[in-house]
Structure 1
Amino acid sequence: MIIIGIEAVPLRIPFKAGSKSASSAWGDSNLPAADSLLVKVTTDQGLVGWGEAFGFRAVASAKLAVDQLVAPLCIGKDATRIEPLMLDVQKKLHVFGRGGALAFAVSAVDIALWDIAGKAANTPLCRLLGGGADELDCYASLVRYSEPSLVRAAVRQAIEAGFRTLKLHELDLAAIRAAREEAGLDIDLTVDVNCPWTLHEARRMAEELNAIDLKWLEEPLWPPENFAGLAELKRTGGIPIAAGENVYTLMDFERLLAADAVDFVQPSSAKMGGISELRRIFPLAAIHNIPVMPHSFYDGPGLLAAIHATAALGTTDSMIEWRWFDLEATIYGDALHQKRGRISVPQGPGLGIDPDPDVIRTYGWK
């Protein structure tokens, strides 16, 4: 089965008119829409697979990497030899770096090829990976609102939707405290601060955050590869630490875990090499008795990749990150949704669902 086409498909889906998310996402008005990059891989036998690269402001760069670097190395190759092909691609392109837009592009093609593999076998991807739960827990991952009153409203909406675990992306203590006050003590709260602090600053913040009772504090340090600093904060800060979204290679995940730097590890399928690499993290984490909580701040194939890998390889502690966005449309329409903090694993072949063609037509851009 030969790869005959690879197409990068950018999407731009605005927030709903009047949505609080539209005016306050990430604390400013600079994100009026959520940009995504889908990748469509076509084979000579008519099978089509879909992947996803990390998006937002990286879409144009990732598309360029797909079109000019990754696709030329894959077209004409055997679609069934996924891991040898992806390894060959990485070796030929490593001089351009092992992370960033290039890694996003490789990830998207890899996910699409695994989608094709499941479709060729007429089985859900989770079964192809060795097993699979039918349903998984998920948590609501909120955008950054900054204003405490907006945080309270978003927290209340997520709880009313049935979530028992919420992720904030807040930096200010007032906003985080407001979330805890609104949620009460029966709801698990996590905070992703996106790598802002030195170790000294993070220790000082941890002293304040301890009283808020967080399930984890995510990516507290700059630079994110300061694994020794994360380990020190984990040892002394009194708050469980999560990280991994910005770790790109299996060797670096080994370093992260060997340093005893995290309580939860968070590989991202659309960033670190797709399913071929993601599936290797689960047994590696198990050696260290660390739960895998995949980063999946997506609503396309990157999300489905995390769902299938977790269903096949995760533990009872593993949860899926569900993006709590108020968008005009979603990539799968009504075919994929959570219910009271649980999500059913799609049981169709491959990833189980293809993107809604109407959404692609309506929100695609060049």
Structure 2
Amino acid sequence: MKIASIETIPLRIPFTTGGPSAGGVWGPKDLQMVDSLVVKVTTDEGIVGWGETFGFTAIPAVKVVIDTILAPEMIGTDVTRREKLQGDLQKKFHVFGRSGAFIYGLSAIDIALWDIAGKAAGKPIYQLLGGSEATSLAAYASLIRYADPELIRVNVQRAVNSGFRHLKLHEVNPDVIRAACEAAGPGVEITLDVNAPWSVREALDMTEKLRPLNLRWIEEPVWPPEDYAGLARVRQHGGIPVAAGENASTLMDFQHLLEAGAVDFIQPSPAKMGGITELQKVYALANAHGVTVMVHAFYDGPGLLAAVHGSAALGGAKSLVEWRYFDLEAQLYGDAIIPRNGRIDVPQGPGLGIEPDQDVIRDYRFKP
């Protein structure tokens, strides 16, 4: 069975957030549209697989790379040679960079090829990865940045009232973070992603202020994010567990991150770092270093499903799944993947387990 076609599908879906967004690395202030890039791979036997790459403002570059470089290289190749394709194409195009558009594009296609493999075998991907006893996983509501104590209180309470017992903040102001922790109350676990804003010294000063809040982790506190030695210093002296990895793009990046002793939680993002094929390897590497994997999944489509299957099979029942708390106007999978009482179901159908709603694809497709 061979790859017959690869199609890139940009989607733009309006959303609300319980108040105006303060902006962040994902987009401007008052952002009200979320852009994603879904990839459709069709085989010569008519089996269709779906993948997803990192979206937002990265979409035009990734779309060009897939359409003009990766797709021509991959059409006609054997769909079962996922790992060989991954290695060959990473090597062939390394001069264009070991991160960004090329790796993102490979990631989406790899997820689609796993979807095809599961459909051909009649099994969900988590079974192809070794199986799991978990039929659902705890999800954490990943909030936007509000930068306002009152808005964060309202939205934390909204998330808690809808059943979430794990929350992720994207705030950088200690007063706002403190307000969120107070609003959450006892029994709700808070993590904090600050998106790499500070020097090591600044990060240590901030962890001193934040230490009394008992955060489960602080995510990417150091700029640049590849300063693994600096990250290790924050981990050693900051008094808060450290998480990182969404900006690591290859297996070597994760090896360097782990060898530096930089993290308590490592966060591969399957739609950015090579798909499910590379995700398996990061789990093995993390296990060898005694570090917990918490898959990054700031997505709503096949990238999210890939994270759910990988987490269930490779991480087990104690894994957490990131749920983008965006109140989308339309969901690619309807209500099939929406968390209930703070838990997200592990899909049981073949491949990724759920098919995208073609009406959503038709109605929200756009030209970047």
Amino acid at match of 1:360: I
Question: Which residue pairs with 2:289 in the alignment?
Answer: 288
Q: Deviations along 1:66-113, whole A, 9 cap, x unmatched?
A: 111111110011111111122111111111011012111110001000
- RMSD over aligned Cα atoms: 1.3
Moved more, 250-259 or 232-241: 250-259
How far did 1:317 drift?
Answer: 3.7
Equivalents in 2 of 1:315, 1:286: separation in Å? 13
Question: Which residue pairs with 1:70 in the alignment?
Answer: 70
Q: Secondary structure of the residue that 1:359 maps to in structure 2?
A: helix
Question: Which residue pairs with 1:277 in the alignment?
Answer: 278
Amino acid at match of 1:49: G
Amino acid at match of 1:51: G
Query: Is 1:213 matched up with 2:211?
Result: no
Q: Secondary structure of the residue that 1:238 maps to in structure 2?
A: coil
Amino acid at match of 1:35: D
Question: Which residue pairs with 1:233 in the alignment?
Answer: 234
Equivalents in 1 of 2:154, 2:130: separation in Å? 41
8 Å contact 2:20–2:30 — kept in the other structure?
no
How far did 1:325 drift?
Answer: 0.7
Question: Which residue pairs with 1:363 in the alignment?
Answer: 364
Amino acid at match of 2:60: A
8 Å contact 1:21–1:326 — kept in the other structure?
no
| Aligned residue pairs, count | 364
Q: Secondary structure of the residue that 2:278 maps to in structure 1?
A: helix
Q: Deviations along 1:267-312, whole A, 9 cap, x unmatched?
A: 0000000011011111211112211100001010000001101111
Q: Secondary structure of the residue that 2:78 maps to in structure 1?
A: coil
Query: Is 1:306 matched up with 2:304?
Result: no
Q: Deviations along 1:182-218, whole A, 9 cap, x unmatched?
A: 1123211111000000000001001100111100000
8 Å contact 2:312–2:319 — kept in the other structure?
no
Q: Secondary structure of the residue that 1:296 maps to in structure 2?
A: coil
Amino acid at match of 1:113: L
How far did 1:129 drift?
Answer: 0.8
Equivalents in 2 of 1:199, 1:231: separation in Å? 10
Equivalents in 2 of 1:305, 1:21: separation in Å? 30
Amino acid at match of 2:119: K
How far did 1:23 drift?
Answer: 5.0
Amino acid at match of 1:134: T
Query: Is 1:84 matched up with 2:107?
Result: no
Equivalents in 1 of 2:104, 2:334: separation in Å? 24
Query: Is 1:170 matched up with 2:171?
Result: yes
Written as runs of structure 1 = structure 2, the 5 A alignment for 1:262-273 is 262-273=263-274
Question: Which residue pairs with 1:60 in the alignment?
Answer: 60
8 Å contact 1:21–1:143 — kept in the other structure?
no
8 Å contact 2:137–2:346 — kept in the other structure?
yes
Question: Which residue pairs with 1:223 in the alignment?
Answer: 224
How far did 1:315 drift?
Answer: 3.8
Equivalents in 2 of 1:48, 1:37: separation in Å? 16
Judged with a 3 Å threshold, the aligned counterparts in structure 2 of structure 1 residues 28 and 75 are, in CA distance, closer, same or farther, namely: closer
Q: Secondary structure of the residue that 2:63 maps to in structure 1?
A: helix
Question: Which residue pairs with 2:93 in the alignment?
Answer: 93
Equivalents in 2 of 1:328, 1:77: separation in Å? 38
Structure 1, unaligned runs of 5 or more: none
How far did 1:24 drift?
Answer: 4.5
Moved more, 20-29 or 192-201: 20-29
| Identical-pair percentage | 58
TM-score (norm 1): 0.97
8 Å contact 2:42–2:48 — kept in the other structure?
yes
8 Å contact 2:276–2:306 — kept in the other structure?
yes
TM-score (norm 2): 0.96
Question: Which residue pairs with 2:131 in the alignment?
Answer: 131
Equivalents in 2 of 1:20, 1:182: separation in Å? 15
Equivalents in 1 of 2:248, 2:123: separation in Å? 30
